[in-house]
């Protein structure tokens, strides 16, 4: 049974610092891994999707890496801004359950001015 | 706006009542998903459709829950005889089938409170 863990549960950094968010999963048989952002009381916004065959994806200040063999992904956000304050969730799609995303509980990030 | 939409955004009901939520996916997307999210947790998968066919249901989806996608476009999720434990955010997502390479796009959610 796939389990997805995100540590730490919460993180506070001053503006301008780089953010490093971690995601680990127990079953390496995945199709892809997605990172999402969720603002309080809102739905999810997709940030990056990494295919199982890829090592990383980049979009602007965001970079996500994937090490399938060790069951880890890391989301880097460069030069954080107060607008980056949100909860960040990772989710995996495993090969035995095509279509279904399994989520971690998220890391709540606060960027202080 | 061509994103995923959900209606209503908020619903307060009394225990024992039935509620129905609607999801309108992005128009060309053939896959539609329902998830449930409780406070402090990530979303949990409930069910998904490919066109009008319901392909998978979670064990979380008790007999009181039913979902439909009658014409392969919008979907409804009905909860009968609501219980306080049903209080949660119900999220809908859609995607275009891409053999596991597709991004799921989420709607704003329907927040349910059962009193």
Q: Give CA–CA dist A26/B40, Å, rounded.
A: 21
Residue range A49-63: mean pLDDT, rounded: 95
State pLDDT tens for residues A76-106. 999 999 999 999 999 999 887 777 899 999 9
Which pLDDT band holds residue B112 (cuts at 50, 70, 90)? very high
Instruction: Number of helices (H) and strands (E) in chain A: give both, helices first.
Output: 0, 11
For the stretch B83-87, contacts whose Cβ atoms lie closer than 8 Å and that sit 24 or more positions apart, written own/partner, are B83/B15, B83/B114, B84/B15, B84/B114, B84/B115, B85/B114, B86/B112, B86/B114, B87/B38, B87/B112, B87/B113, B87/B114
State pLDDT tens for residues B18-44. 999 999 999 989 999 999 999 999 999
Task: Please state, as a whole number, how many other Cβ atoms lie within 10 Å of the Cβ of residue B64.
Answer: 13
Q: What is the pLDDT of residue A97?
A: 76
Which of 25-84 (B) contact A at CB < 8 A? 31, 33, 35, 40-45, 48, 50, 55-56, 58
Q: What is the pLDDT of residue B102?
A: 80
Q: What is the pLDDT of residue B1?
A: 53
Cα dihedral B21, A48, A90, A28 sign: positive
State pLDDT tens for residues B46-102. 999 999 999 888 888 889 999 999 988 999 999 999 999 999 999 999 998 776 678
A-B C-beta contacts closer than 8 Å: 64
Q: Which residues contact B29 (CB under 8 A, 6 or more apart)?
A: B94, B95, B96, B105
From chain B, the residues in CB contact with A31 under 8 A are 100-101
Min CA distance, A52 vs chain B (Å)?
Answer: 9
**Are B111 and A43 in contact (CB < 8 Å)?**
no
Q: Give CA–CA dist A78/A24, Å, rounded.
A: 21
- Judge whether residue A13 has pLDDT over 90: yes
Q: What is the pLDDT of residue A45?
A: 94
Q: Give CA–CA dist A22/B6, Å, rounded.
A: 31
Task: Please state, as a whole number, how many other Cβ atoms lie within 10 Å of the Cβ of residue A6.
Answer: 22
Q: Give CA–CA dist A28/A25, Å, rounded.
A: 7
Q: What is the pLDDT of residue B61?
A: 84
Say if residues A61 and A55 touch (Cβ distance below 8 Å): no
Q: Give CA–CA dist B81/B93, Å, rounded.
A: 25
Take residue B77 and report the two structure tokens written for it: 């999720």
Best A23, A29, A38, A43 member to test B by mutation, with max B CBs in 10 Å, is A43
Of the listed ranges A60-64, B92-96, B100-104, B108-112, the least confidently predicted one is B100-104
H or E element, residue A33: strand A30-38
Min CA distance, B2 vs chain A (Å)?
Answer: 14
Rounded to whole angstroms, the maximal C-alpha distance in chain B is 42
Eight-state DSSP code of residue B71: T
Q: Does A40 touch chain B (CB under 8 A)?
A: no
């Amino acid at each position: 049974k796939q389990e997805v863990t995100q540590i730490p549960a919460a993180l506070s950094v001053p503006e301008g610092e780089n953010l490093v968010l971690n995601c680990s999963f127990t079953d390496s048989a995945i199709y892809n891994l997605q990172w999402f952002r969720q603002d309080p009381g809102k739905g999810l916004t997709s940030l990056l999707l990494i295919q199982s065959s890829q090592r990383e994806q980049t979009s602007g200040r965001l970079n996500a890496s994937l090490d399938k063999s060790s069951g880890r992904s890391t989301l880097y956000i460069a030069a954080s801004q107060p607008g980056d304050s949100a909860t960040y969730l990772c989710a995996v799609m495993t090969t035995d359950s095509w279509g279904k995303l399994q989520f971690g509980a998220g890391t709540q990030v606060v960027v202080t001015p | 706006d061509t994103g995923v939409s959900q209606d209503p955004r908020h619903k307060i009901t009394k225990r024992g009542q039935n509620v129905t939520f609607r999801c309108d996916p992005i128009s060309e997307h053939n896959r539609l998903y329902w998830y449930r999210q409780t406070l402090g947790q990530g979303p949990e998968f409930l069910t998904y459709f490919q066109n009008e066919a319901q392909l998978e249901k979670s064990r979380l989806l008790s007999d009181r829950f039913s979902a439909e996608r009658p014409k392969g476009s919008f979907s409804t999720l009905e909860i009968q005889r609501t219980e306080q434990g049903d209080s949660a955010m119900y999220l809908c997502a859609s995607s275009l089938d891409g053999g596991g390479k597709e991004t799921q796009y989420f709607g704003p959610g329907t927040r349910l409170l059962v009193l």
